[in-house]
Structure 1
Amino acid sequence: MSKNEAQAREELIDLAADFYDQFAGGEIPEMELPTRTKSNIVFDEDSNVWVYGDRTSKRSANSVSGARKLLKAVYTIEFLSDQLEEGRSSTLRELYYLSESWDNEEAQFNSQDESNQLVEDLEIVSGVTREDFHMRPEESGATLMGPLELREQTRRGEREIHCQEDVGEGGYQIPNNPDMIDFLDHDIDFVLAVETGGMRDRLVENGFDEEYNCLVVHLKGQPARATRRITKRLHDELDLPVVVFTDGDPWSYRIYGSVAYGSIKSAHLSEYLATPKADFVGIQPKDIVEYDLPSDPLGDSDINALESELEDPRFQTDYWEEQIELQLDIGKKSEQQALASRGLDFVTDTYLPERLDDMGVL
């Protein structure tokens, strides 16, 4: 067992011991957590990321519902502790199904959302990430393609990989725990995090990564934690600019927000996952107008999401307020692939070079 694994197990056992001590002292056991709502997100001036504020809520055994939650927490702690001791790992989905074998039916989960949230609760109160608990999400499939050489620790030992020369067109798949990677060498000038697989493939086919010494990170939609973690490491450890290239709709702006500022549900990990200096490269609402891009009308859910973002502290800047208000005014949204209306090479020959030059990246 590694030092991190031993520490993770110790934190879990200490948490269970705290419940026992509360019982022994005649107290009603409880677990205090930050309130996970948008209104309890505050900007941390030191780390430049959004984190939970001072408001908290409690999981307490003073009700039947609260007692069930703590019972499930204890069973989960025992499972995770045993898993670490045995050097095993499991997925979040497996934890949900595995609970059906627990001898106490009251400890079994009613849904995967419930088990996912409990793992997040344990992260917060223990200060240990789920990766150190050996808990994995389902495979994200997110990849890297570009001039980066790295060393990965695997169960079969170390392996060194060049993320252009040693991989196929699909790129290097990001592992669940990117902290097991060492960066050995690189010729990267900037990191381009791309939302869609279609655009990622277009960039690679057109040789954008080679021509501009760019590391293309496929976010695969809303990025997994491993993707955000490796993006942050690339920025912090290699001092590389990070730009995020998404569709032009409110849901894609939230993808950018999760990379740059963190998400509400994982605000306790913002300093670990977020890259606050990441910039947004498009598609902007003004691009829809300037390039007359093929577009779709905003639906009611899009409008509500944009109006919500105007109230979201992560988007309360002059740039975002101007772009969101413009989008509400034109009533349109557009995808990355809409740039193909000007030719398959337009995105790599014109759009990205011009945008990145204006931003000072190229």
Structure 2
Amino acid sequence: MNKKDITVNKLKSLGEIILEDVEKNSVPAIKVPSRGTSNIVYDEDKRYYVLGDRYGRRSLGNVKQISKIAQMVYVANFCKDLVRRGKTATLREMYYVSEGWDVEFGDQQESNIVGEDLEVTLGMTREDLGLMPEEDGASVYGNITIQDDDVEINALKAGKSGYTISPTIDEVQFVDHDVKRVIAVETMGMFHRMVQEDAYNKFDTLIVGLKGQAARATRRFLKRVNEELKLPVYIMNDGDPWGFHIAMVIISGSAKLAHVNHQLATPDAKFIGVTASDIINYDLPTDPLKDIDVLRLKELSKDPRYRDEAWQMEIKKMLKIGKKAEQQSFSKYGLEYVVDTYLPEKLEQME
């Protein structure tokens, strides 16, 4: 049975559960895994957040839950139609399509949450269900050839902006590659700097421009190249708590997506910098930490994903110096410095 048939059958099973209860003269109910904070657990062995074993029960016998079940059934039926026809829809499109349904959503956030309820209930990703986010995936530049439907694309020949990761990245096949590692950078400014300075050749690397917080498709791409192609993944972000967080979501996933972290997290990925130590060692231009930065750093220090001694040291050091730095701050020493000096030194330390 192919993935499409599996998805359709799982979606149909939601309605069959309700029908079976009706035939038994029982009040129809659906079990939905709890996504409350008390049911989100950091798994030390897997090195990412997972859902615990608690479930909620949505019953048509509870007046307050009738609309919730109706919303889930409508969304499931919409997704079943998408998958059967080989189509996709953005979350925004689904929200507007729902305007013609006999159930209502207060706003798009409410319909998004129902989509997440559906994926956690069925044990499938929203992308499997045909639902796509609005944001693009990252840009990839380097010598890798992928096949998307019947088209082969080499990311080294797709223009200076590279190949844009598809939201349906699981349907993409890796045909060939000639690289030894992957370097993901937070900003497109750094992505283009690395392309211009021939970093893909100097380091035998794929360059991935994250565009800020990495989209789900980007995280899935990084996990796939790490596991399927055995390529080490390195992350270079701004030297501030937000850059730390962007890196950690790639490495250990997020609490919000605990139900799909097994498909998104890349626990063996490594954070190159910019670290607090880099700020000191390279005498980088800085900005003072704001109150919100300090608060966020203190939150990170208590987060189980940052228990590692190296992370704790960098967080404490940043709090001590009271400064942060952008990844472009290496330009103080010339545009080429980050590729000619910083990255070679850091990669040598880490490899």
TM-score, normalising length from structure 1? 0.91
Shift of 1:203: 0.4
**Residue number in structure 2 paired with 1:191:** 182
Shift of 1:61: 4.3
1:316-339 Cα deviation digits (max 9, x unpaired) = 111111111111111211111111
Q: How does 1:126-205 map to 2 (within 5 A)?
A: 126-153=122-149, 158-164=150-156, 166-205=157-196
Q: Does the 8 A contact of 2:146 with 2:153 survive in 1?
A: yes
Shift of 1:175: 0.9
The residue type equivalent to 1:41 in the other structure is V
3-state DSSP class of the match of 2:268?
Answer: coil
**Residue number in structure 2 paired with 1:287:** 278
Deviates more, 1:236-245 or 1:62-71: 62-71
Compared with structure 1, are the counterparts of its residues 56 and 3 closer, same or farther at alpha carbon in structure 2 (3 Å cutoff)? Answer: same
**Residue number in structure 1 paired with 2:111:** 115
Compared with structure 1, are the counterparts of its residues 14 and 307 closer, same or farther at alpha carbon in structure 2 (3 Å cutoff)? Answer: same
Select 1:214's aligned residue among 200, 205, 210.
Answer: 205
1:257-282 Cα deviation digits (max 9, x unpaired) = 11111111111111211110000000
- Give distance in 1, aligned partners of 2:295 and 2:350: 30
Select 2:305's aligned residue among 288, 302, 314.
Answer: 314
Q: Does the 8 A contact of 2:27 with 2:61 survive in 1?
A: no
1:62-94 Cα deviation digits (max 9, x unpaired) = 544422211111111111112222332210111
**Residue number in structure 2 paired with 1:70:** 69
Shift of 1:227: 0.7
3-state DSSP class of the match of 1:267?
Answer: coil
- Give distance in 2, aligned partners of 1:30 and 1:12: 13
Q: How does 1:230-309 map to 2 (within 5 A)?
A: 230-309=221-300
Shift of 1:48: 4.0
Deviates more, 1:85-94 or 1:33-42: 33-42
- Give distance in 1, aligned partners of 2:62 and 2:319: 46
**Residue number in structure 1 paired with 2:9:** 10
Shift of 1:39: 6.8
**Residue number in structure 2 paired with 1:35:** 35
Compared with structure 1, are the counterparts of its residues 63 and 260 closer, same or farther at alpha carbon in structure 2 (3 Å cutoff)? Answer: same
Q: Does the 8 A contact of 1:91 with 1:135 survive in 2?
A: yes
Compared with structure 1, are the counterparts of its residues 342 and 79 closer, same or farther at alpha carbon in structure 2 (3 Å cutoff)? Answer: same
- Give distance in 1, aligned partners of 2:83 and 2:147: 24
Aligned length, in residue pairs: 350
What is the RMSD computed on CA atoms of the aligned residues? 1.8
- Give distance in 2, aligned partners of 1:225 and 1:36: 21
**Residue number in structure 2 paired with 1:356:** 347
Q: Does the 8 A contact of 1:42 with 1:53 survive in 2?
A: no
- Give distance in 2, aligned partners of 1:346 and 1:65: 61
**Residue number in structure 2 paired with 1:323:** 314
Deviates more, 1:21-30 or 1:10-19: 21-30
- Give distance in 2, aligned partners of 1:42 and 1:294: 36
TM-score, normalising length from structure 2? 0.94
Compared with structure 1, are the counterparts of its residues 173 and 81 closer, same or farther at alpha carbon in structure 2 (3 Å cutoff)? Answer: same
3-state DSSP class of the match of 1:11?
Answer: helix
Compared with structure 1, are the counterparts of its residues 309 and 65 closer, same or farther at alpha carbon in structure 2 (3 Å cutoff)? Answer: farther
Compared with structure 1, are the counterparts of its residues 350 and 62 closer, same or farther at alpha carbon in structure 2 (3 Å cutoff)? Answer: farther
Q: Sequence identity of aligned pairs in percent? A: 39
1:343 equivalent in alignment to 2:309: no
3-state DSSP class of the match of 2:259?
Answer: helix
Stretches of structure 1 lacking an aligned partner (at least 5 in a row): none
Shift of 1:136: 1.1
- Give distance in 2, aligned partners of 1:254 and 1:213: 27
- Give distance in 1, aligned partners of 2:289 and 2:38: 24
1:142-196 Cα deviation digits (max 9, x unpaired) = 111011122221xxxx1222211x2110101111111222222221111001111
- Give distance in 1, aligned partners of 2:323 and 2:66: 49
- Give distance in 1, aligned partners of 2:51 and 2:36: 7
